[in-house]
Every structure is written in C-alpha cells, then in structure tokens.
Structure 1
Amino acid sequence: MATQKSRQHKPGKPGPTTKPAKSGAAIPIEVDASTQPPLGMPAERFLRDYWQKRPLLIRNAFPGFESPIQPEDLAGLACEEGTLSRIVAHDREKDAWMLRHGPFEEALFPDMPHHDWTLLVQDVDKWDSDVAALLDAFDFLPRWRLDDIMVSFAAPGGSVGAHVDQYDVFLLQALGHRRWQIDASDQPSLEFRNDVELKLLREFHPTHEWLLRPGDMLYLPPGVPHHGVAEDACLTFSVGMRAPSAAELLGDFVDTLAADADEGLRYRDPDLAPAKDPAQIDDDAMRRAIEALNALRMNDPERLGDWFGRFITLYRNAGEVMAAPEGAAEDAQSRIQVEWDLQHGATLVRHPYSRMAWRKAARGARLYVNGEGHDLPVRDAKYVANAKGIDSAGYTALSEAGRDRVHELLRTGHYSLVHEGEEEE
C-alpha cells in the first residue's frame, strides 16, 4: 500500500492558447523550463509541436528537483511480492546481456558489481505517494492515458541498451547523471538483435546526445530509438503512457462482443435463390455475412464507448484491488459509521491501484473503475473519477446514487477510511 507523505509537487500550469508555428520556423529540440515548468512552454504548444511528432529535451523541467526516493528504497521495493522488477546487466567485453526478474532477495544487492547493471521497478507511483504526486505535473494529458512511473537505478555504466518504445515516455532525471543518445532521423534502423532476450536494436546511429542532471527531462514520442547510460550511480523516473495496439483493441472488443452476443443472432438467408455454382461464395452471401456482423452493433457509439471505458481502466500489472476479508473491520463498517467518521475529519482515500475514468452517456454518465461501469449523474462521475480522496464536503455534495456508489467502492476495496492524523499504511 502506498504511504502518505507531506511533501507535495506542484504541477506546472498550462499557459494561454498559442498560435500555430509560422511556416518554415525552426522548432527547437531543446528548451529550458526554469520559468515555465514542466514543459518550458504552454501545454497547447507542446501538444501541437511535439506530442507524438518529435523528441524534446527539457532542461530544468523540475527546477531544484530532489528525488523523493533513494536507491536503497528502490532495492527494498524490488524485494516485495507483487512488484514488477527486473535487473539488466551488460558484459561489455562479450557484448552479452543478462535479464533477471524479481522479486529479489535482499542479500543480492550488496554483492552486485559496481558498474554496468540496472534495476527497474514498475508502478512505483502505486507504492509511494510522493512519486505519485509527480503525475499532477502531467494533468495536461488525460489521466487514463498515463500508465505508471517506472523508476530505474543504474550503477555507473548501467544501461538497458539501445531500444525503441511504442508509447510516449517522459524520462525525468531524479538523481545522478545519465547520458542519453537518440536517433531523431526520419527513417531510423528498427531491426532487433536476435542473440539477446531483450529487444535491442541491431544498429543504432544517434543524431543527438545530452547529459541529463536532476530535474532535466527528455520527452520521446513512440518509435524514436534511444540509449541511456549512467555516468554515475543514478535514478531515472520514466512516466509512460498506455498505448494499446490496434490488435489489442480489436481482440478485446471482439471478445466482448462475442461474450455478450445473443445465440439467436445468426447468418440468415431467407431470400436464397437456386445456386448457379454451389461452390461459389457470391456477393449475396457476403452481404448476409456483413448483416450478421452488423447485428452485433459494432458501430454503436454507446456500446463502443462503454467497452473502451472498461478496457482502458483495467490494469496490465500485478497489482489488484481486493475487498477486505469477510469479518474484517473495514468490511464491517456500516454506512452510518462511515458517514459519522467523515463528518469528524476522516477521508476516503483511493487505493493506488484503483484506476478511474468517466464519459458522458445517453442517460447522464458512466463511471469506470478497474473495468467496471457504473451509471451516475455527470457531476458525480466527474468528481469521483478525479478525486484522490473524498472528504465530508465532497461526500455530502454527491447525489444519493453517488453516495451509494462510493460506499460500495469502499466495501470492495477501492477506498480506505483514513482518520484525521492517521497515515495510510
């Protein structure tokens, strides 16, 4: 469970809407964000000129940044059950790569070499509230697009090799120094090596190279080859986006349609005429096949939207929200008790693995919580999806349906009741 800490990271505020760049105007690949963190420009301009278009090095994205966690904290987290962690090591003489998956034994780390290895831990934002607070700086993006904050510790020379990601990523230097190289050419080489377990590029031809220090951040759109090597012992925070492939979207949607399909919906041909060629699949047959598929309402915006809301709020990691065991104090809390506690300073704190989003629907709104959809008034759905915690005022402002839903989410583990002066464990 995440720990609650007092320090808060303030997000940068988007500036006014910017005008399109003049034709032929050079778009910089490096900016200083000292006076306008975290992007060094209005969010609108970043989204227009860089988002999924070109990389950007942002010096001083977080001026005076101090890492909320230390390497020993990350090592301890990598030993916990339920974390997704890896160690990547490189033998330079043989150009051989080793990959190990956690959780790891604590005794492993004191015996690790002093160079050429990296520890990577996914979803650190779910375990540490100060790391999670960094996500507020990225509120110019839909929250449901943000996947997680992966934190990597690298010993001097540590690297995961030259590779390419198929999603947007912000690489924030948190501790120490890392040298990044990228290939920003129009047609980079994207063939992978076949002699290593990792997906490493066979060839890498960098066009840009930078040394990042704490507070600097590198944004990379999908498909840009990059290679980071630690100059000294360092921590790097990777804020990654969720970008499901078209095949993943199609597969899940079709599975959902098939699971919900009425067995009575079938291929029909009441207008069948005598076959001219009994072996031919003619145009009329294909028309009937399309009609059978259309009966599944694949193009229904309401059905499509409901499926996507459930799909995109499902986590792909090992974390899971679970209800309290039957008979536990949390399970036994009556609604009257909860409301009394809220009135006396308690707060309903959302579980770090509880992923929420909302959308307008035919009748009000739908709130999506970890793959489940719930009908609510628009005001309630918007508030619950955005609120990290619900206090007495927020709870009271909800409709009766909203309060019913929140209490049910508490019962199923999506919230914990934290009393004033307590810390969430």
Structure 2
Amino acid sequence: MTQTLRPFTHLGDMPIETFLRDYWQKKPLLIRQALPNFESPLSADELAGLCLEDDVISRLITETPQSSPFNSEWNVTHGPLPEDIFETLPENYWSLLVQHVDQLSPEVNQLLNLFRFIPNWRLDDVMISYAPDKGGVGPHFDYYDVFLLQGHGQRRWRLGQQCTSKSPMLANAPMKVLTEFDVQEDWVLNPGDILYVPPGLAHWGTAVGESITYSVGFRAPSHQDIVLDFSQEVASKIEEDNRYQDQFLTANKNAGEITGDAIEQLKHILQTYMQDEQALAQWLGKSMTQLNPGMVDEAENTIEPEEMANTPFTLSPFARATFYRADSNSEAYIFINGEVYSGSLELANALSNYLPIDWLSCSETDKLILDTLAQQYLLVSLT
C-alpha cells in the first residue's frame, strides 16, 4: 500500500508560516534533508519506459556545448520517443523530462500531499527529469513557483538574477535559454534535499553524475489568461437583450467626442460582472481544476455504487479538487476536474482533502453527487 504523506509543517527547522511570510514568491530557500532517506519512487529505466508511451508528455533535450556555455546548441525531441533512441545518445549533455508523473504513479502522486499547505487549486504537477553527467536544460527562468526535490544522485543548482520577458535569450533555440547569468548561489543537492525557487528567478541545474530530480510546480495563470478566460465565461451567459444604454443622454456639444459619461457607463457594465464573486469563484474553480493535456480523466478500480453504503471511500488522488463556500455557510461549490457541483460544506471538505466518506451520514443531495462521481473518481478508502 502506498504510504500516505502529510503536508509539511516545517521545512527543515523553519515553520511553514515563516516560509510563507519570508520566502514564498520572494526569495529562494535550500532545505537540506527535507525528506531524510528519500529514495526515488521511479528508476531511470522506468522513466525511459514512460517516454515511449503515446499518452505521456515527455521531452528529450540534448546539448552540444560550445566555447561559451551560453552559446550551446540545443535540440528538443518530443515524445513518444522511439525505443532505440537511447542507444544513440552520448554519455553526457542530455536530459529526459516527463510531465504529470503524479498522474502516472501513486507513489509520485503522494509527493503532492507534502505541499498542500498551498491551496489545491495552485498545485500543478510533478515533473521528473533524468540526466547523465552534465545533463540539463540550460539557464532559464519560470513564471511559477517550484520545489526541486533531489531524488537520486546529485544535481548542481546555480541561482541568478531576477528575470522578465525582456531578459536576453538564446536566438533560434527550440527552448528559452538565457544568455546572461549572474550567479548568486551555487549548491549541490543530494537525495532528500529540496530547493525552493520563486517565480522569475534564473536557475541552472546540471547533473553531477547520474541524476533524477522531482519538480513540483504551481499554476500561475497570466493576467492575460484571467481577463480573457473569465470574460469569455461571463459573456457566454449574458442574454442578448442586455445592451449599452444611455437613456439620460444630454445634447452633445461635440458629436465627435466620447464623453466621460459614456466611459462611466462602460465601467459600470464591466464592474457589474467583475464584482460578481460567485461568478469569479465558479470560473476559478473550474478553470484551475481542469486537467492538463496528458492527465488521466478517470481513475482505475473505482468503487461500484452499490458498495458505497458498506465501505468508506475517498476521491481518487488523481482527481483535482477544490471548493468555494456558497452564500450559505453550510453549502459549497465543489470543483472536480473542471466540473462544478453544489453540495454540503462537509462533503466539499472531505472530497477536496481526499478524506474517507461515510455514505450513511451523507444528505440526499450529497448522495446524488456521489452517485455521479462513483464510477469515475471514487475509490475504496485505504485509511
């Protein structure tokens, strides 16, 4: 049975509250032996096997070093990879990346639980990278927070400057590689060590010998996506009869001018929809629990509806779940894999925290929801 991991209460000796106050989205933090005696749940051979599968998102990145490390030539091959590709690779300077491994391995999925001191809807996935000596993906930065857990071997991490979209990048490369790097920290991580890297901070990982690294990333929608996606969601529900109105229009001194009154009317229209907290919550919950490409949309070995009255069950850990309190403190909108359900706050808490559920204690409304979820997302509880 897969061990159930609990959220960190401390990172090393540091309380989580201190980390969130002083480090989260502010500055990096190295935690030596955050997971003592940690052993990688997956081997290099198992990762290579995943890259051969059609429904697994993977990349093989190879580097051809030049006189300057900032002028290397890079090549990216997207999976599924041909089985014989590993026979043609050099001894050094390549890296294998596999996305959404938390959806492929129960043991890897458990690693997400360690970071549930961050809201569920912010958690994205666990990516695993394997590299032989000197392998990596070059100096780069991400727009999201990441915890880098060393799983096997060693990896050298150099941390640099804060970056933006205007930071200089290697031209004509198939991936974003920085051409400037101001080293601020230089660490070698061992199994069980974790490095937290905030958004926008340049970082550069290089394998020291054979290395496996687990990257726990977080969803960070851009303002562009928030405005565009939410406005589309709202617009799809607005009746055509709702139109711009100016029934208190006064004579315009200059017919060519857009007046301040017109702008105020437009602001009022937009604010009417933007201030609808229920609409915002429903968009956020559905959007942030949608599965990424390559993620499974059904669990295996789900419980049969007739079994639910006799045994406790839980939401599959492979499902993405969160909730938002409705106007009533006893009811909630429950979001699972991009779908929304209206149920009790007790059910919302149990589902989104993957806790055992007792069918006999559920309301009739909650039972209807559970009937809908049963053969797709609910599993017999093992705790």
How much has 1:410 moved relative to structure 2? 2.1
Structure 1: runs of 5+ lacking an equivalent? 1-5, 15-35, 421-425
Residue 56 (1) aligns with residue 21 (2): no
Candidates 72, 86, 89, aligned match of 2:62: 89
SS in 1 for 2:201: coil
Find the counterpart in structure 2 of residue 20 from structure 1. none
Mark the CA change 1:357 to 1:346 in structure 2 (over 3 Å): closer, same or farther. Answer: closer
Greater fraction of residues in strand? 2
Candidates 298, 319, 324, aligned match of 2:295: 319
How much has 1:59 moved relative to structure 2? 0.8
TM-score, structure 1 length as denominator?
0.82
Residue 360 (1) aligns with residue 329 (2): no
Aligned equivalents of 1:218 and 1:290: distance in 2? Answer: 44
Deviates more, 1:82-91 or 1:102-111: 102-111
SS in 2 for 1:99: strand
Contact 1:173-1:236 at 8 Å conserved across structures: yes
Candidates 337, 341, 344, aligned match of 1:370: 337
How much has 1:195 moved relative to structure 2? 2.7
Output the amino acid matched with 1:308. L
Aligned equivalents of 1:13 and 1:119: distance in 2? Answer: 28
How much has 1:241 moved relative to structure 2? 0.7
Candidates 109, 132, 141, aligned match of 1:164: 141
How much has 1:272 moved relative to structure 2? 2.2
Q: Percent identity?
A: 35
CA displacement, residues 358-390 of structure 1 (integer Å, 9 cap, x when unaligned): 1111132110112222111111111112116x4
Mark the CA change 1:419 to 1:180 in structure 2 (over 3 Å): closer, same or farther. Answer: closer
How much has 1:197 moved relative to structure 2? 1.6
Find the counterpart in structure 1 of residue 46 from structure 2. 73
Aligned equivalents of 1:143 and 1:58: distance in 2? Answer: 22
Structure 2: runs of 5+ lacking an equivalent? none
How much has 1:192 moved relative to structure 2? 1.7
How much has 1:291 moved relative to structure 2? 3.3
How much has 1:186 moved relative to structure 2? 9.8
How many corresponding residue pairs?
376
Find the counterpart in structure 2 of residue 8 from structure 1. 3
Output the amino acid matched with 1:92. P
Aligned equivalents of 1:419 and 1:184: distance in 2? Answer: 46
Residue 105 (1) aligns with residue 82 (2): yes
Contact 1:380-1:399 at 8 Å conserved across structures: no
How much has 1:293 moved relative to structure 2? 3.1
* Aligned CA-pair RMSD: 2.6
Deviates more, 1:167-176 or 1:395-404: 395-404
SS in 1 for 2:187: strand
Candidates 112, 129, 153, aligned match of 2:106: 129
SS in 2 for 1:73: helix
CA displacement, residues 378-409 of structure 1 (integer Å, 9 cap, x when unaligned): 11111112116x4xx63333222212111101
How much has 1:303 moved relative to structure 2? 1.9
Find the counterpart in structure 1 of residue 359 from structure 2. 395
CA displacement, residues 223-253 of structure 1 (integer Å, 9 cap, x when unaligned): 1101011111110000001111111111111
Mark the CA change 1:88 to 1:130 in structure 2 (over 3 Å): closer, same or farther. Answer: same
How much has 1:45 moved relative to structure 2? 0.8
Output the amino acid matched with 1:47. L
CA displacement, residues 128-165 of structure 1 (integer Å, 9 cap, x when unaligned): 01111112221221122111110000111101000001
Aligned equivalents of 2:366 and 2:126: distance in 1? Answer: 30
Find the counterpart in structure 2 of residue 285 from structure 1. 262
Aligned equivalents of 1:274 and 1:319: distance in 2? Answer: 59
